[in-house]
Chain A
Amino acid sequence: MKAPYKFVVMICVLLLLALGFLNSVHTVSAAGGAKVTGTAKLAGTAPKQKTIDMSKEPSCAQIHASSPVTTEAVVVGPNNALKNVVVYVSEGLDAAAASQVPSQPNTITQKGCQYQPHVIALDINQKLQVVNGDATSHNIHPLPKINHEWNKSQPPGAPPFTEAFSSEEVPIPVKCNVHPWMRGYFVVVKGPYAVSDDNGSYTLDVPPGNYTLTAWQETYGTQTQKVTVAAGKPATADFTFKAK
C-alpha cells in the first residue's frame, strides 16, 4: 500500500514543478504585460521636403497625379508630432526577452514608387516580406554596413519574397536603383521595438525592469533615455528632436 502512495505524491510534485516552470516561461513570453508609451516631437521648424518628380515612371506619376509626393526625411504631424521614429531597448533587456523574435513578418510594400512604410523596424532574424504593388519593376537593394548587401529584382506581378537580417544595424538604407528617388530604412534591433505613428506616439511592450531606450530618426540621429518599467503601470518616455 505504501509504494503506490509514494508514487502518487511524486507525480503530484512533478506536475506542480512542471506547471510552475511553464507558468514562469509564460510570464516572460508575455513580456510581463508592462509597457512604455510616449510621443516623439520636433522642436523647431521642420525642413521643407522636396517634391518628387516621377515623370520618368508614368505608371507611378499617374497614382500621385492629384497630390504630388515629397521626400520623407522629416514627417511632422499635428502639434509637431514626429512620425517614423524607431524606439527600442538598447540596454537592460534580459537574455530571454532579447532572444524572442516575432513570428509574424513585417511587410514593406512598393506602391506608387514609394516604400510603405518608409521606415520598417525588425528584430534580428525576423522575416521581412517584400511586396511589389506597382505596375513597374523594382529592385530592392538594402545597403548595410554590418549585414550583407543583397539586391533582388521584383517585376510587376512577381510574388512577394522574404528576407531577414542576422545582425543589429541602425539603420540600413534601402533603395531602388531603377527609381532613384525611392528611399527607405530598415532598422534592425535586438528585442522589442516600436515606430511612432502620424501622431508621434508609440507603445513599446517590455517586461518590467530598468532600461535605456534609444530613439532613432533618419535626419536627426539617436537619443537615449533611462526608464523604469513596473508591472501593470505603463512608463512614459517622450523624445524631442531639435530641428537643425
Chain B
Amino acid sequence: MRTTHRRILLSTILTAALGTTAMAQNAGISSGYPVPKNGFTAQEQKGHGLYRRYCIGCHGPQGDGNGENAPYIDPKPRDFTIATFKCRSTLTGSLPLDTDLIHTLVRGVLASNMPSWRPLSDEDRADLVAYIKTFSPRWKKEQPGPPLQVPAEPEVTADRITAGQQLFQKMECWKCHGTEGRGDGPSAATLTDSKDRPIVPYDFTSGHRFKCGETDQDLYKIFMTGLDGTPMPSFADNLTPDQAWDLVFYLRTLQPGKTKERAIAKQLGLKPINPTGTTPQP
C-alpha cells in the first residue's frame, strides 16, 4: 500500500512538473509568433521577422552590413555589430536614441541606397529598432548619450552670415569641404571611413540633401555631434550654440536654391574664403 501511495505521489509531481514546462513553452504561441529560441523578447522577435523581410539583403543575417547586395552598394550598409551610427542627436562616441534610429528609418539615408521606410507602421519601425539593438552588446551595457540641446533658431542676419563664414575658415571646414563648399578641399582626396573605405566630403553646391535630414536643426546637429564612422568630427567642444547657428546660416549660402541666406549673401557681395592668402586662379 505504501509503495502505491508513493508512486501516485511521484507521478503527480512529475506530471505537474512536465505540465509547467510545457505551459511555459507554449506561452509564446499566443502572440502569434513561434516560441523564441534565442532569448529574444516578443518585440525583438517581431523585429527579426521584419528584418528578414526588408533589411537582410543589405545588412546581412549577422547584421554586420555584409548582405548579398553589399558588394554593389556605396556607401556600404551599416554594420550594426559595432553600434556606430552617423545620424544621432547624441554626442560623438555615444549610442543614438531610439528616436534617432526611427528617424533614420522614416527618412532613409539620403544619397545612399538606404530607402525611406515610411510605408511601414510606427509599430513595425519600433520593432525593427528593438531587433537591430540585439546585434551589439553595447546596447545592454550602456545608455544612449544625453541628446544635444538645439536652442530655438534665431533670425538670419547679415552679421550672422559673416560670422558663420569666419567660423568656416577658423574651424577649417574648408580643409575637406573646400573654400566654396564643393567638397574639394586639400584633404578631400585622402579621406576614408572608419573601415578604411574611400569617402567623399559633402558638396554643398550639388543641391543634394544631407544624409541626416534637411532642416536647419538637422544641419546644426550634423556638425555638433559629428557623423561617427566617417571623417566628420564633432565641433560641440568648439562652438557655442550662437556660433553654431551662424555656421548653419553660412552653410546655407553655399547651397543652391532661393533662400533667405543666399539673398543676404548676394546683397553682401560675399566672396569665398581665401585661407591661404594666395590669389585664386582665374
Contacts and interface: CB of A to CB of B under 8 A. Distances in A.
B233 A153 contact: yes
Nearest to B276: A58
Contact of B187 (A56, A149, A152): A56
A150 interface: yes
B194 A155 contact: no
B172 A177 contact: no
A27 B211 CA distance: 56
A154 interface: yes
Contacts of A158: 237-238
B92 to A, nearest CB: 4
Nearest to A179: B187
A143 B231 CA distance: 11
B190 A152 contact: no
A151 interface: yes
A179 B176 CA distance: 10
B81 to A, nearest CB: 10
Given A137-B172, A153-B238, A177 B228 contact: no
Q: With a 10 A CB-CB cut-off, give which of B175, B229, B233 has the most chain A CB atoms.
A: B233
A155 to B, nearest CB: 5
A148 to B, nearest CB: 5
B80 interface: no
B237 to A, nearest CB: 6
Interface string A132-172: 00001101110101001111111100100101000000000
A148 B84 contact: yes
B10 to A, nearest CB: 47
Interface centre among B83, B192, B230, B235 (most CB of A within 10 A): B235
A158 B231 CA distance: 19
B176 A155 contact: no
Contacts of B190: 180
A149 B171 contact: no
Given A150-B228, A178-B187, A155 B233 contact: no
Interface in B173-201: 175-176, 186-187, 190-192, 194
Contacts of A163: 93
A125 to B, nearest CB: 14
B232 interface: yes
Contacts of A56: 186-187
B133 interface: no
A152 B92 contact: yes
A151 B231 contact: yes
B273 to A, nearest CB: 14
Nearest to A147: B93
B192 to A, nearest CB: 8
B100 to A, nearest CB: 15
Contacts of B238: 153-155, 158
A200 B84 CA distance: 37
A152 B228 CA distance: 10
B234 interface: yes
B231 A148 contact: no
Nearest to B137: A146
A150 B236 CA distance: 12
Contacts of A153: 171, 226, 233-235, 237-238
Nearest to B199: A177
B27 interface: no
Contacts of B230: 151
A177 B93 contact: no
Highest count of chain A CB atoms <10 Å: which of B83, B84, B230, B238: B238
B214 to A, nearest CB: 23
A57 B126 CA distance: 47
Contact of B228 (A149, A154, A178): A149
28 contacts: A141-B233, A143-B194, A148-B93, A149-B84, A149-B194, A150-B92, A150-B93, A151-B230, A151-B231, A151-B232, A151-B233, A152-B92, A152-B226, A152-B233, A152-B236, A152-B237, A153-B226, A153-B234, A153-B238, A158-B238, A161-B237, A177-B176, A177-B187, A177-B233, A178-B172, A178-B176, A178-B187, A178-B231
Given A148-B138, A149-B194, A180-B187, 5 more contacts: A56-B187, A136-B172, A152-B226, A153-B171, A154-B238
3 smallest A-B Cβ distances: which pairs?
A150-B93, A177-B231, A137-B172
Interface of A: 56, 136-137, 139-141, 143, 145, 148-155, 158, 161, 163, 177-180
